[in-house]
Structure 1
Amino acid sequence: MAVKHATPVTVSLADLGSNTVSAATLTQAFGPDSLGILVVRDLSPAFLQLRRRVLLNASHLAALPSTTLLRLRNPDAKYLVGWSHGVETLSPGTIDTSKGSYYINCAFYQDPTLNGADGMKFPGFEEYTAANIWPNDVDIPGFRSDAEKLISLIIDTAVLVARACDRFASAEIEGYEAGYLERVVKQSQTTKARLLHYFPIEHAGINGHPNGVNDSMAEETQKEENGVDDYWCTTHLDHGCLTGLTNAMFIDESSAELLELPTPPDPTSGLYIQSRSGKVHKVTIPEDCLAFQTGEALELITQGKFKAVPHFVKGVNPMSCTPGSRIARNTLAVFTQPNLDEPVDLVSGLNFGEFARGVVKKNTVH
C-alpha cells in the first residue's frame, strides 16, 4: 500500500479554552474537505508521565497469567467492562484476536463514587452500568489511579473541543441545539475508555492472552495482496460523539524490561483514516498531544453535517524488525458518548442506548 501522510489541524489547549480557535480552523478540521480529526497541543504537564505509565501498563496487563485475565472479564457486560480478547468481530465472520482491550466505564468523571451508569434507570445495559473491574496493586501498581487521572484529563480536553465543535455546528447546521456537544461530554455517565494492546503480529491467541503462534505473517501478506492493509484493526467507525486518542506507544516486549521505541520499526505501521473526500492517509499524533475524531452518534445528531471518521490500524511487518524482537502497540481511546436516554436521531426518536445496543450486537461474538 502506498502510504500518504497527512498533517491534521492542530490547536493549542489555551486557544480552545479562550474560545479563540477560528471558524476557518474548525472548517479545516471538521468541514466537508477535512480529515475529520483535530489535534490538541500544550497539554497539562502531567500528561506525558500519565500517558507513559498507562500505556506501559497495557503491556503489563496483557502479560498477566490467563487465570488472572479471566477474572478480569465480564461476559454479562458483553465483555465491554474489564479485559476483552477474542470476542469481537469488526469484519464479518472474522474474530479479532490481534488485540486485547481493557474497557473502563467513566461515570467516575461525574462522581468518584460511581463505577458505571445508573443500573436501575437503564436495565439491560450492563456494558455501561456494570462496575469496573480493576487489577490489584500487587499485579500492576497504580493501574486504576493512573488510568482515571489520564481519562479525566482527556475528558476535560474533550469538553473544550466539544465547545469548539458547537460553535462550528451552530454556524453550519440549521436548528442545531446550542451547546449540545459540550453538555453531552460534560454530563454523560456512559463515556467509555478503551486501553488497547495490539499483540506482536506473530502471536494471537483467544480468551486469556496469546498462548500460541499463528501464521499471522501469511495472513498479513494475504491482506496486502487483497488490497486490505489493516491486520491490527480493520476499518471501522467509532459509535460515540468525539473520540479522544493518545499517541500510540510501540514497545519491544522481547525482554522483561519493556522498551519503548521512539518510532515504529515499520514506518508504514500505525493509524490510518479516511478523509471526508474518501482518501486514505496515515496520521501520526505527536507524543505530547491528543487527537479527537468524530463518531457515528455525532453524525446522526448533526444529520450528516459531521461525518464519522473511518479508520484502521496497520500492523508492524516482522520483516522490518530486529530478529527476536516482539513489537506491540499500546494506546488509549476515550469515547465521549451521550447518556443512554439522550436522543441521537430526532426524526426517528432513536436514543443512544438503542443505537449503541445495535452496534454492540453486531460487533460481539455470540
Structure 2
Amino acid sequence: MKPISINLDELDSTIDDKILEQAFGEKSLGLIIINQMPKDYLSLRDKVLKSSSILANLSDDILKLLEIKESIYLVGWSLGKEKLENGNFDLLKGSFYINCSFFKDSKLEGPNLSDIESFSEFKSYTIKNQWFDSIKNKEQIKQLEELKDFQKDCKALINYILQIGLKLSEKLDSYIWSHVNKEDYYSKGYLPYIVKNSTTTKARLLHYFPLKSIKQNDFDDNLWCGEHVDHSCLTALTSAMFVDESEAISNGLENDKDFSGLYIQISTNKEKLRIDIPRDSLVFQIGSSLQEISCNKFNAVRHCVRTSKSMKNLNIARNTLAIFMQPNLDDKINKSENFAQYSLRILKENH
C-alpha cells in the first residue's frame, strides 16, 4: 500500500474524487503527499528547520524564559513536560509552539479578546505567542544572534504551508460533505473555514535530540516519538532535516532512510508503513477532530517516529515542523464537547 501523492499545481485545478477517496477514504492511509514545492518554500524550510537545532542548544536560562507554565507548555518552548505511553516524561524531543492566528490577521499572536475572555481557563490556546521579547540580558541576547530572523522566517513558512492547506481543504470539503450525515457536526465549507479563520491553529517546531545524548532508560523500542493521533482536523508535516550536531549546527543533512522516519498504522491490517517525505514535499493527514466531527466517517492517522540502532551512537538530530489546523474553541465537535473541552481533556491526559 502506497500513499497517494499529487503535484502542487494540481491544487489549482479540479481533483478527481477517486484520488481523494484513495487518499482519505475508508480504506485509505488518511493522508496525501504534495510534491514539487517551489524554491522559495525550500529556502524557508531550510532556514526554519536549521534554526530548530540552534534554538534547542541555547543555554537553559534562555530556554526557561521561553517556557509558559500556564499554557501547559503549549506556547513557546517545551521539553520534558509531555508524558509518553510508559508514563515517563518525554526528554527525547524539544518543541517550540506557535499560535498561527497571524494567518487570519497579521496583527494577531493569539485569539481575539472576546475568545480570551470567554475561554480564560483554556490558556493553552489563549496565551499569545512567546517570541524573544522577554529576553533583555545583553549576554543572552548575544546567543540569539543566529536567530534574529527566527520569528519572520517561522511566520513566512507557516503562512506558506497554510495557504496550501487552504487550497487542499477546499478540494476536500465537497468530498467530506458527500460522505457525512445530517446528524454529524460537519457543515459544508467547514474545513476551509477553519483553516482560514481559526485562532487555535498551532505550529510545532520539533527538535529530536541526538540519541547519543539520551540516557538508555529514556529511550524505548527505537521510538523517537511514540504512537499517537493529532487532535487537529488536518495536520501538515514538512520533511525532516537531519543535523549533525558534532559539526556546525547549520550543517543540515539530506533525509536519509537509514536514519529514521515517520511510520503510520494501516487501519485495515494494523501494520506499520514508513512514509518517505521528499525534501520538496509536504504531507497532510487527518486528525482526531475531523474524526469526531464526521462521527468516525474519516479516521485520524495513528503515527510514530522510529529510529535505527545505528543512530544511537551518532550526534545527529532530527528537525521538522508540524502545523495542526484546528477548530475554534467554541466549535462543537461531538455531542457533549466543543473544541476547547475536547482538547483540554486530551492535554490533561498527556501532560
TM-score by length of 1: 0.87
Contact 2:243 2:249 in 1 (8 A): no
Structure 1 regions of 5+ residues with no counterpart? 1-5, 205-213, 224-228
**1 CA distance for matches of 2:217 and 2:212?**
5
**AA of the residue aligned to 2:329:** L
Of 10, 13, 25, 2:8 maps to 13
Of 261, 266, 270, 1:270 maps to 261
| Residue 138 of structure 1: how far off its partner (Å) | 2.6
Contact 2:96 2:205 in 1 (8 A): yes
**1 CA distance for matches of 2:198 and 2:249?**
39
Give 3-state SS (helix, strand or coil) of 2:255's partner: coil
1:5-47, CA deviations, whole angstroms, 9 ceiling, x for partnerless residues?
x6311112222222x1111100110112211111112334310
Contact 1:242 1:336 in 2 (8 A): yes
Of 330, 335, 340, 2:319 maps to 330
**2 CA distance for matches of 1:30 and 1:290?**
16
Of 130, 134, 138, 1:133 maps to 130
- Structure 2 equivalent of residue 344 of structure 1: 333
**1 CA distance for matches of 2:187 and 2:294?**
10
**2 CA distance for matches of 1:244 and 1:350?**
25
**AA of the residue aligned to 1:272:** Y
Greater shift, 331-340 or 250-259, is seen at 250-259
1:235-256, CA deviations, whole angstroms, 9 ceiling, x for partnerless residues?
0010010000000001111023
Residue 159 of structure 2 is aligned to residue 146 of structure 1: no
- Structure 1 equivalent of residue 16 of structure 2: 22
Higher helix share: 2
Contact 2:234 2:326 in 1 (8 A): yes
**2 CA distance for matches of 1:281 and 1:234?**
15
Give 3-state SS (helix, strand or coil) of 1:297's partner: helix
Contact 1:36 1:276 in 2 (8 A): no
Contact 2:31 2:285 in 1 (8 A): yes
Of 189, 203, 206, 1:193 maps to 203
- Structure 1 equivalent of residue 340 of structure 2: 353
**AA of the residue aligned to 2:15:** V
- Structure 1 equivalent of residue 216 of structure 2: 215
Residue 150 of structure 2 is aligned to residue 161 of structure 1: no
Contact 2:17 2:175 in 1 (8 A): yes
Residues 45, 264 of structure 1: alpha-carbon distance in 2 compared, 3 angstrom cutoff: closer
| Residue 94 of structure 1: how far off its partner (Å) | 1.6
Runs of 4+ aligned residues of structure 1 deviating over 6 Å after TM superposition are: none
TM-score by length of 2: 0.90
Alignment of structure 1 residues 75-154 onto 2, 5 Å: 75-118=69-112, 119-135=116-132, 138=145, 140-154=147-161
Greater shift, 134-143 or 296-305, is seen at 134-143
Structure 2 regions of 5+ residues with no counterpart? 133-140
1:206-246, CA deviations, whole angstroms, 9 ceiling, x for partnerless residues?
xxxxxxxx2259x44xx2xxxxx4x2100001001000000
**AA of the residue aligned to 1:65:** S
**How many residue pairs get matched?**
334
**2 CA distance for matches of 1:94 and 1:32?**
34
RMSD of aligned residue pairs (Cα, Å): 1.8
**1 CA distance for matches of 2:122 and 2:319?**
28
Alignment of structure 1 residues 53-72 onto 2, 5 Å: 53-72=47-66
Contact 2:240 2:255 in 1 (8 A): no
**AA of the residue aligned to 2:216:** D
Contact 1:264 1:316 in 2 (8 A): no
| Residue 343 of structure 1: how far off its partner (Å) | 0.8
**1 CA distance for matches of 2:68 and 2:196?**
27
- Structure 2 equivalent of residue 33 of structure 1: 27
**1 CA distance for matches of 2:254 and 2:145?**
29
**1 CA distance for matches of 2:240 and 2:202?**
18
Percent identity, please.
40
| Residue 110 of structure 1: how far off its partner (Å) | 1.2
**2 CA distance for matches of 1:26 and 1:300?**
19
